[in-house]
Amino acid sequence: MFDGFTLDYVTVGEVTLRVRYGGLGTPVVLLHGHPRTHTTWHAVAPLLAADHLVVTPDLRGYGRSTLPPDAVGHAQSSKRAMATDVAMLMSHLGHERFAVVGHDRGSLVAFRAAMDYPGRITHLVVMDGLPVIEHLERVDARFAAAWWHWWFLGQTDKPAERVINADPDAWYSTPPPQLIGEGNHADMWVAFRDPDVVHAMAEDYRAGLGIDRDHDAADRDADRRVTCPMLLLESALDDLNIQGDPAAIWARWVLGPVNHHIIDSGHHQAEEAPEAVAAAIRRHLLSAGPTN
């Protein structure tokens, strides 16, 4: 995987991130979701590297990146903390301005980076995600049934870690290695069997139900919005639209238009349709810069 890329471990503040980077050109950061690691981008990153410096870390606590001790309100796993990791990582690599792409939970981090560091983010790409407050304010029986893992992983009285760590092979399911890449498949399964990673993934969801929602609410109350060009990539075979038109929901959070594109794949777009994903990202990165 990642021929020509550099594998590194970079300490940023309170965590050490495992990161791969390679290519030449304007920088773009690719952020994975749950329960993946950065290797989910193994087919997309080389396609972008012809025109861009591609940086793809494990989010804090995921893969082989570290996580600080648990904090009040699960703040150590907030998307604000993860977005700060990304900003510090790019400063370490010598880049003040960069584009950010996030999938699933990584989309929440990408969105938070665009909100908290508007002067640094040139373009935002969100893949199968909404601001967490928009999900939580629309919860109904259908959403709760379909997205039940949010509530399971978010529990603290009966922690999910006890169930998952008892038999991770029974809990997680992934496509076979020949479909998603042998290295990617192996990297994920090392993470799934690590109790520290399982705890970090649960803490990610606990933060999502509390402190991340609070941060979104504060931004909405202050009418803060994404100021850079935004692309929403929605999987044709997933259910991001379970609570309504995703582009219409995003519109209230973005100063400019929301560029909306459907990818013919299931949820894990980067693994199932890497060429289409890379082409859509590349087109978006050629668009004009921030709106203010």
pLDDT at residue number 289:
60
Residue 85's alpha-carbon distances to 15, 58, 175, 218, 284, in angstroms, are 8, 11, 30, 21, 24
In a domain, 74, yes or no: yes
Burial label for 217, CB within 10 Å (0-12, 13-18, 19+), is middle
Q: Which of 58, 85, 104, 212 is catalytic?
A: 104
Question: Is 268 one of the catalytic residues?
Answer: no
Domains in the chain: how many in total? 1
In a domain, 1, yes or no: no
Burial label for 76, CB within 10 Å (0-12, 13-18, 19+), is buried
Domain that holds residue 153: 6-285
The DSSP string of 259-281 is EEEEESS-S-HHHH-HHHHHHHH
In a domain, 292, yes or no: no
Local confidence pLDDT in tens for the 292 residues of the chain: 999 999 999 999 999 999 999 999 999 999 999 999 999 999 999 999 999 999 999 999 999 999 999 999 999 999 999 999 999 999 999 999 999 999 999 999 999 999 999 999 999 999 999 999 999 999 999 999 999 999 999 999 889 999 999 999 999 999 999 999 999 999 999 999 999 999 999 999 999 999 999 999 999 999 999 999 999 999 999 999 999 999 999 999 999 999 999 999 999 999 999 999 999 999 999 976 654 4
pLDDT at residue number 292:
45
The DSSP string of 142-181 is HHHHHTTHHHHHH-SSS-HHHHHHH-HHHH-----HHHH-
In a domain, 290, yes or no: no
In a domain, 101, yes or no: yes
Angle formed by the axes of helices 79-92 and 105-116, to 10°? 70
Query: Tell me, what CATH number does 49's domain have?
Result: 3.40.50.1820
pLDDT at residue number 287:
79
Question: Is 245 one of the catalytic residues?
Answer: no
In a domain, 79, yes or no: yes
In a domain, 136, yes or no: yes
pLDDT at residue number 290:
55
In a domain, 24, yes or no: yes
3-state SS, residue 64: coil
3-state SS, residue 90: helix
Q: Which of 34, 260, 261, 267 is catalytic?
A: 267
